[in-house]
A and B are shown apart, each in its own frame.
Chain A
Amino acid sequence: EDQVTQSPEALRLQEGESSSLNCSYTVSGLRGLFWYRQDPGKGPEFLFTLYSAGEEKEKERLKATLTKKESFLHITAPKPEDSATYLCAVQTSRGNTGNQFYFGTGTSLTVIP
């Protein structure tokens, strides 16, 4: 059965304190792994797409990496405005449509000034 697990569930960081969020997955036919940021009461905002082991993507203070079994979202010198829930999602080929996207449980990040 396809599974996507994120850890930790919640993370509190001091401003400037770098850390990493983890997304572990067990899926059949991974087509892509996606990172999203979600603010309270809003829809998820797309950050990155990864699809081959060893791939890395960067945007401002965020860097996403991918291995065969997990992905990391590294946050360097975070600021309070980085506080949000970070979700990873996997796209699978189950059902041969490639249209399924399943989300992990998310990591709630709080950055304290």
Chain B
Amino acid sequence: DTEVTQTPKHLVMGMTNKKSLKCEQHMGHRAMYWYKQKAKKPPELMFVYSYEKLSINESVPSRFSPECPNSSLLNLHLHALQPEDSALYLCASRQGFVRSPLHFGNGTRLTVT
């Protein structure tokens, strides 16, 4: 079992809906990540939080809004998504030292109708 927990596992939403993805880790990691993965493609970096501050935004559209309420939690708020946003959304965390690996959750499978 992964130590990074993502909820929900599956989500279907319409283009006018607002929903949120949640991610939780209790490993004491201080950096948390959102990745997007389309079928048969590698994960694409979206956002990085380091010590609860947004440190990287890879030019992600504003319909995706990240939030890090505390060092254990990471949210991704979704609004007015497009069908092409359908993908597996992966959360990952890592310790703060150089070369510490990412630890991934099992993702939320998002379908936008």
Q: Indicate with 1 or 0, residue by residue over B78-92, a CB within 8 angstroms of chain A CB atoms.
A: 000000000010101
Interface-lining segment among A13-21, A36-44, A65-73, A75-83: A36-44
Total count of chain A residues near the partner, CB < 8 A: 27
CB distance from A1 to the nearest CB of B (A): 14
Contact of A103 among B42, B107, B109 (CB under 8 A): B42
- Interface segment, one of B14-22, B59-67, B68-76, B98-106: B98-106
Cβ-defined partner of A99 (8 Å) among B2, B55, B107: B55
A residues neighboring B (CB under 8 Å): 31-32, 34, 36, 41-46, 49, 51, 87, 89, 91, 95, 97-106, 108
Please give the residue numbers on chain B whose beta carbons come within 8 Å of chain A beta carbons, in ascending order: 2, 4, 31, 33, 40-45, 48, 50, 55-56, 88, 90, 92, 98-99, 101-107, 109
Instruction: Give 16 pairs: A residue, B residue, CB < 8 Å, sorted on A.
Output: A32-B99, A41-B107, A43-B105, A44-B43, A44-B90, A46-B101, A46-B102, A46-B104, A95-B56, A98-B98, A99-B31, A100-B45, A103-B42, A104-B42, A105-B41, A105-B42
